[in-house]
Chains A and B, each alone.
Chain A
Amino acid sequence: MTGSPIVSAEGVVKRFGLLEVLKGVSLDVQPGETVCIIGPSGSGKTTFIRCINHLEKIDGGRIEVNGHLIGYREKNGKLVEDSEVNIARQRVEIGMVFQRFNLFPHMTALENVIEAPLRVRKLSKELAVKEGEALLDRVGLADKRDVYPGKLSGGQQQRVAIARALAMKPALMLFDEPTSALDPETIGEVLEVMKELVAVGMTMIVVTHEMGFAREAADRVVMMDEGLVIEEGTPEHFFTRPDHERTQQFLSKIL
């Protein structure tokens, strides 16, 4: 693929105290691409995508989204952390879906979806509601607009969370193990919604253990282990003849 990437991460380093969880991770994602990040737990994949929208500070390297440096400003050749207000502005173009949904429990499904469009994008109420209803319809939950998250199943909550992230019209969607907290019978409905996003050309980075989804929907699969990207390639390459021994071991364990 050619053109400028939407995400460009270079040598990202992240430490929690003495523990170095990312040891120089680099990854470029092209517009419209779906990248699945797999790897054993503790390999740093969740931390890495949390760095992309600066929910985590980074201790080295740099991350650009749409050509904008994320979380930092360049000052005399050095990186200084940006203000939260500026970072908030950058996050508008990066949607995120969490493992534990993190819906706002004191708001209905529709209110969850329209909250940020109303307060951050400053849409009129009518327009926000119209867009919000369309999004809920798109994830198959139009009839749940006035229901509180506590009354929704895990799969339904996660679909509302996806609609909520899409409501900001992001250029990039990050998924942090979106099906790991779900009952097996509701995983499918969430994956369906994600596949539909792939089909309409959304740029997505998905941290997942769903190898079926990775095989079917990903343009590229990235394997992380111990804070490094150890292998990347097409799903076909990955699931038939992975090069790296660690990848072979990992896949043989979970497939």
Chain B
Amino acid sequence: MLAAFEWHIFWERIFHPDHVFAQALWRTIYIAVLAQFFGVVFGLVSALMRRSTFLPLRILGGLYVLIVRGTPVIVQIFFIYFGANLFLGFDLFPRTVDLGLFSLSGAVVAGIVALSINEGAYMSEIIRAGIESVDRGQMEAARSLGMPPRLGMRRIVLPQAARVIVPPLGNEFNNMLKTTSLLAFIGVYELFLDADVHYSSTFKPSEYFAAVAFWYLVLTIVWSVIQAWIEGRLAASERGDRLSFLERVREAWAPVPGRLWSRAR
């Protein structure tokens, strides 16, 4: 006979989550944000490497994308967390990592590193497509004005590529919020592991996993609202077309519409 669904457990997980749960929720959020941030950085670096005139850099950037996109993220997480120990004989990530102001568990750091590397490969493709969407004449105009390639990329091409990059980037972050659950397998105490721990001690999978599914849904819904808002502002500024990428993001996050945080003119 099927066990009856114990609603009180479910409601309690939603309306009265405990302190441990709150920490797990927060851990999920900051891991996703940090991994996404570094993923964008890695993606930008590798997208630029793949456009380099220097062949070894192009090959390296291409291999990174090929290998990372070609292997499962869970394998990458295990490889990064346990791999150094197996191959090099020492732990790349100690039990706790002291970052000066605070310390993080080694598993959290390894998780952020693994997810960043994974995300970087996908962002690389998105950023490459964004850069390629900018008319070639833009870089030519920059060059004809005596701007070196790097300056032209930073000031002319990337701000225009940003409008193509932002919507899929939002999608990637939605994915990232959920992919953090895989870090449970290296012992990062985040939302999914919290549910798993409760399940193991109570043998009530439906209640705890339904509740955790609800919380992931909350996270992604909140994000989708923020994403829509950012894209709305992006479209609005596109009509006037007056903001750089950073300004756009700052603008989208400004508490009051207007020019509150943007550069004084």
Q: List the interface of chain A (C-beta within 8 A of B).
A: 53, 55, 84-85, 88-89, 91-92, 94-96, 98, 100, 102-106, 108, 115-116, 119-120, 148, 150, 161, 164-165, 168
User: Provided the pairs A102-B138, A106-B159 are in contact, do residues A88 and B147 lie with their beta carbons within 8 angstroms?
Assistant: yes
Would you call B141 an interface residue if the criterion is a C-beta within 8 Å of the partner chain's C-beta atoms?
Answer: yes
Q: Is the interface of B mostly helix, strand, loop or mixed?
A: helix
Residues of B within 8 A of A95 (CB): 144
Chain A residue nearest to B140 in the complex (CB): A55
Q: Which of B138, B143, B243 contacts A104 (CB 8 A)?
A: B138
Q: CB-CB contacts of B127-161 with A at 8 A, as 1s and 0s? A: 00000000101101111111111010001100110
Distance, CA A27 to CA B147, complexed state (A): 27
Residues of A within 8 A of B206 (CB): none
Distance, CA A89 to CA B147, complexed state (A): 8
A148 touches B143 (CB 8 A): no
Residues of A within 8 A of B143 (CB): 55, 88, 91
In the assembled complex, 18 residue pairs joining A and B whose CB atoms fall closer than 8 Å, in A order, are: A55-B143, A84-B149, A88-B148, A98-B141, A98-B144, A100-B137, A102-B140, A104-B141, A104-B156, A105-B160, A106-B241, A106-B242, A106-B243, A120-B146, A148-B240, A161-B141, A164-B145, A165-B145
Distance, CA A96 to CA B146, complexed state (A): 10
- Which residue of B144, B148, B156 has the most chain A CB atoms within 10 A of its CB atom? B144
Residues of B within 8 A of A148 (CB): 240-242
Q: CB-CB contacts of B157-175 with A at 8 A, as 1s and 0s? A: 0011000000000000000
A119 touches B137 (CB 8 A): no
Would you call B244 an interface residue if the criterion is a C-beta within 8 Å of the partner chain's C-beta atoms?
Answer: yes
Distance, CA A136 to CA B135, complexed state (A): 25
Residues of B within 8 A of A91 (CB): 143-146
Distance, CA A175 to CA B161, complexed state (A): 27
Distance, CA A153 to CA B247, complexed state (A): 27
B241 touches A96 (CB 8 A): no
Q: Which of B146, B151, B159, B243 contacts A92 (CB 8 A)?
A: B146
> Beyond the given A119-B147, A120-B145, could you list 15 further A-B residue pairs with CB under 8 A, ordered by the A residue number?
A55-B140, A94-B144, A98-B137, A102-B140, A103-B141, A104-B138, A104-B160, A105-B241, A106-B159, A115-B145, A116-B145, A116-B146, A120-B146, A148-B240, A165-B145
B148 touches A106 (CB 8 A): no
B144 touches A53 (CB 8 A): yes
Chain B residue nearest to A150 in the complex (CB): B241
Residues of A within 8 A of B159 (CB): 106
A102 touches B146 (CB 8 A): no
A165 touches B144 (CB 8 A): yes
Residues of A within 8 A of B241 (CB): 105-106, 148, 150
Residues of A within 8 A of B141 (CB): 96, 98, 102-104, 161
Residues of B within 8 A of A100 (CB): 137
Q: How far is the CB of B133 from chain A (nearest CB, A)?
A: 12
Residues of B within 8 A of A103 (CB): 141
B242 touches A102 (CB 8 A): no
Residues of A within 8 A of B160 (CB): 104-106
In the A-B complex, list the 3 residue pairs whose CB atoms are closest, starting with the nearest: A102-B141, A92-B146, A116-B145
Q: How far is the CB of B46 from chain A (nearest CB, A)?
A: 21
Residues of B within 8 A of A102 (CB): 135, 137-138, 140-141
Q: How far is the CB of A21 from chain B (nearest CB, A)?
A: 17
Residues of B within 8 A of A115 (CB): 145, 155
Residues of B within 8 A of A116 (CB): 142, 145-147
B145 touches A168 (CB 8 A): yes
Distance, CA A92 to CA B147, complexed state (A): 8
A119 touches B151 (CB 8 A): yes
Distance, CA A76 to CA B209, complexed state (A): 73
Distance, CA A116 to CA B160, complexed state (A): 17
Chain B residue nearest to A111 in the complex (CB): B242
Distance, CA A119 to CA B153, complexed state (A): 13
Distance, CA A88 to CA B149, complexed state (A): 8
Distance, CA A88 to CA B137, complexed state (A): 16
Chain A residue nearest to B242 in the complex (CB): A148
Q: How far is the CB of B10 from chain A (nearest CB, A)?
A: 49
User: Provided the pairs A98-B140, A98-B141, A119-B155 are in contact, do residues A106 and B146 lie with their beta carbons within 8 angstroms?
Assistant: no
Residues of B within 8 A of A161 (CB): 141
Distance, CA A115 to CA B143, complexed state (A): 12
Distance, CA A92 to CA B149, complexed state (A): 14
Distance, CA A103 to CA B241, complexed state (A): 13
